[in-house]
């Protein structure tokens, strides 16, 4: 049985180009009890590989989290397969706002301890006691209410390029960091405010809403389907779009344009710009925002040091990387010290304490 990829990303890209088929990029998640995630993982890989599914799927005892693409003509077959699995029958699939045939180039189905790294002990609270799911129209009403605190449950590099009007955007690198920060900074408003949360597709809010209810927040809401589903409903129902900028996504597209607003800046020159790139030096690979002018001048690198390394012959670069591991900067996601216009660190909850 083939339970792994046989083609490189380059080979797969060539096949996709040659096939000339339109592909759909989509995402979904579901919390459910999976007794044997390894066996379940293998079953998924065997079926989805035949349907030419590509993407990144995490399976755990607590459920499944998937971001993937597949030929549009295979969508119904894919949906039919999901419907054969009890806890995935009729599941909502978040179809990407912007499509790109090259959004994923490999099928990776991985077994993980959790489908989202939240750092929580699920045995200490009722994970099924979730917040109220609200659609786009109700969400728009709630976030205009003076008794609402709107919180972005994503990381700083995601909210930097796009977020909802008047949202609190925690300055964190990981989801798990945000939970205690939010609970501590909003502890005085557990009963007198509506706590409204949103994320990319809804999965982070699903667990966070139960956690905050456990922590004593009385009025907890979450945006159904996240930013992706919100955008679809806004278009279909002709609602006011209250999202500014781009929605960061975890595939090769990196972002979807939701509004024409550009709310971020190039990390190297400070000009308005909101497209992320990775440093061309593979030993660095830092994710940061770089405008076209700086990309050309810096040769797609984040620093002159990286540019000099990237100019070396490939074999010399490989020798330099031996035994070095990843640069610590790779985890800073655009906040490396050498970027003069990196996102400012600030207490984004301060105005709620006044």
Q: State the DSSP code for 52.
A: T
Catalytic-labelled residue, pool 199, 205, 284, 294: 199
Token pair for 345: 């660190």
Give every CB contact of residue 336 below 8 A, 6+ residues apart in sequence.
286, 288, 302, 329, 342
Q: How far apart are alpha carbons 326 and 324 in whole angstroms?
A: 7
Token pair for 134: 């609200």
- Quickly list DSSP for 78-116: HHHHHHTSGGGTT---EE-SS--TTS--SEEEEE-S-SS
CB atoms within 10 A of CB 331: 13
Number of helical (H) and strand (E) elements in the chain, helices listed first: 11, 14
Q: Is 294 a catalytic residue?
A: no
Q: State the DSSP code for 157.
A: H
Instruction: Give the distance from CA 168 to its chain's centroid.
Output: 17
Picking from 18, 161, 203, the residue whose alpha carbon sits closest to that of residue 102 is 18
Q: How far apart are alpha carbons 215 and 191 in whole angstroms?
A: 11
Indicate the pairing of strand 287-289 with strand 276-278.
Answer: antiparallel
Name residue, tokens 């955007």: 169
Catalytic residues: 199
């Amino acid at each position: 049985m083939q339970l792994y990829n046989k083609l490189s990303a380059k080979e797969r890209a060539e096949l996709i180009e040659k096939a000339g088929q339109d592909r759909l990029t989509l995402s979904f998640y579901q919390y459910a009890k999976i007794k044997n995630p390894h066996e379940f993982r293998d079953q998924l890989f065997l079926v989805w590989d035949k349907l030419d599914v590509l993407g990144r799927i995490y399976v755990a005892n607590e459920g499944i989290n998937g971001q993937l693409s597949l030929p549009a003509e295979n969508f119904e077959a894919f949906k039919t397969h999901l419907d054969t699995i009890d806890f995935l029958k009729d599941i909502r699939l978040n179809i990407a706002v912007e499509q790109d045939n090259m959004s994923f180039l490999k099928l990776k189905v991985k077994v993980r301890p959790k489908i989202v790294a939240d750092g929580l002990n699920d045995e200490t609270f009722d994970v099924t006691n979730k917040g109220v799911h609200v659609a786009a129209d109700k969400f728009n009403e709630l976030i205009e209410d003076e008794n609402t605190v709107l919180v972005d449950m994503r990381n700083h590099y995601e909210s930097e390029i796009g977020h909802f009007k008047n949202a609190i955007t925690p300055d964190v690198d990981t989801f798990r960091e945000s939970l205690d920060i939010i609970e501590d900074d909003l502890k005085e408003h557990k009963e007198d405010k509506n706590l409204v949360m949103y994320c990319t597709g809804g999965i982070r809010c699903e667990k966070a809403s139960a956690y905050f209810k456990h922590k004593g927040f009385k009025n907890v809401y979450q945006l159904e389907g996240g930013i992706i589903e919100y955008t679809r409903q806004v278009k279909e129902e002709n609602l006011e779009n209250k999202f500014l900028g781009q929605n960061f996504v975890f595939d090769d597209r990196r972002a979807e344009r939701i509004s024409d607003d550009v709310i971020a800046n190039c990390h190297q020159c400070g000009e308005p710009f909101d497209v992320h790139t990775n440093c061309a030096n593979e030993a660095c690979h830092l994710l940061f925002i770089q405008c076209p002018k700086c990309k050309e001048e810096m040769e797609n690198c984040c620093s002159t040091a990286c540019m000099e390394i990237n100019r070396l012959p490939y074999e010399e670069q490989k020798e330099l990387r031996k035994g070095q591991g990843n640069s610590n900067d790779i985890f800073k996601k655009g906040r490396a010290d050498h970027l003069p216009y990196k996102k400012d660190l600030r207490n984004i909850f301060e105005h709620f304490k006044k």
